[in-house]
Copies of this chain bind each other. A is one copy, B any other.
């Protein structure tokens, strides 16, 4: 686009009868400019409809007031409200958000990170801590301020704002077992370069082993994060000799998909089969039976990640990671098994 219409600092300077330096000061450190000149300047800015050129400013100050978020997908409600909170917290400080998605692919994540850094992002919010060395190398080499979220691990000297996936998933499994379930199926998310999915799966395994008393995993399937994949995963579970009484799912969308399939093949819910999701997105409450799930502290994480990043960009060094609590939400989809 031809920005021929955009007035520059020089235009303002001419109109106000001062130097460009004064205007820059008036904009960035108003105290250092005399009140009278400041007024002249403000008037000139107003009549010209001037807005600072981003490129010029970025070039001269090497600050962009932009941070990037790289998330797996926008098409999933999972990250939406956290991202929203992240954006709102940034907006308070006049920082804008660049969003990029990876489609759960680490190559694409690398590309997106490079692109965002090239765009001048002052900082980066990343989901999870599991990515190839070359990606971390790039981040380290460029000294990109960053924070990881949705997990509670980070590399040496780096920080996270997240929660304990393993514990949350293990806790959910334990609740199911306490209600009497012993034959447990697991629909896991894709664990390849996805530490959250891995942690959730491992958390379930550990909880089952710890519980003992005959509790076991009848079958475990990995499914991408989509409703349709869940149906296939559920079919696979039901193709096993030993059928489960409860299905633990890596997220609510998978649970909803699996439940839909279960009903299609004539299983009555929740009596004949229990389901547990993860995330507590909006649909968990509205499906029937309402989905038992784990609430993820999305908003808290988004806000904390923003504040952390702003502080780090601002040069603060006294920072620390935060682990937020998840909450087990018991709804109708989880009932004691009819036959133990």
- What is A's interface to B at a CB cutoff of 8 Å? 1-6, 49, 51-60, 62-64, 66, 73-77, 80-81, 83-84, 87-88, 94, 96-101, 114-120, 122-123, 137-138, 141-145, 227, 253, 256-257, 259-260, 263, 282-283, 285-288, 313
Question: Are A142 and B6 in contact, CB atoms less than 8 angstroms apart?
Answer: yes
Instruction: Considering the complex, give the chain B residue whose CB is closest to the CB of A77.
Output: B77
How many Å lie between the Cα of A52 and that of B100 in the bound state?
Answer: 18
Q: Contacts of A49 on B, CB cut-off 8 Å?
A: 137-138, 141-142
Shortest beta-carbon distance from A315 to chain B in Å: 9
From the candidates B64, B74, B287, name the one contacting A54 in the complex (CB within 8 A): B64
Q: Contacts of A101 on B, CB cut-off 8 Å?
A: 84, 87-88
Q: A84-B74, A287-B287 are in contact. Are A59 and B53 (CB under 8 A)?
A: yes
Q: Contacts of A120 on B, CB cut-off 8 Å?
A: 53-55
How many Å lie between the Cα of A77 and that of B83 in the bound state?
Answer: 13
Q: A87-B101, A138-B49, A227-B282 are in contact. Are A145 and B5 (CB under 8 A)?
A: no
How many Å lie between the Cα of A141 and that of B4 in the bound state?
Answer: 11
Instruction: Considering the complex, give the chain B residue whose CB is closest to the CB of A138.
Output: B49
Question: Are B100 and A98 in contact, CB atoms less than 8 angstroms apart?
Answer: no
Question: Are A84 and B80 in contact, CB atoms less than 8 angstroms apart?
Answer: no
Instruction: Considering the complex, give the chain B residue whose CB is closest to the CB of A263.
Output: B288
Q: Contacts of A80 on B, CB cut-off 8 Å?
A: 74-77, 80
Question: Are B259 and A313 in contact, CB atoms less than 8 angstroms apart?
Answer: no
Shortest beta-carbon distance from A181 to chain B in Å: 23
Q: Which 5 A-B pairs have the closest CB atoms?
A: A55-B58, A55-B59, A288-B288, A51-B118, A256-B286
Question: Are B286 and A259 in contact, CB atoms less than 8 angstroms apart?
Answer: yes
Instruction: Known pairs A75-B80, A256-B283; list 4 more (Cβ under 8 Å).
Output: A1-B313, A51-B115, A74-B74, A96-B100
Instruction: Considering the complex, give the chain B residue whose CB is closest to the CB of A256.
Output: B286
Shortest beta-carbon distance from A81 to chain B in Å: 4
Question: Are A59 and B62 in contact, CB atoms less than 8 angstroms apart?
Answer: no
Question: Are B144 and A1 in contact, CB atoms less than 8 angstroms apart?
Answer: yes
Instruction: Considering the complex, give the chain B residue whose CB is closest to the CB of A100.
Output: B96
The residue in A1, A144, A260, A283 that gathers the most chain B C-beta atoms within 10 A of its C-beta is: A1
Question: Are A282 and B283 in contact, CB atoms less than 8 angstroms apart?
Answer: yes
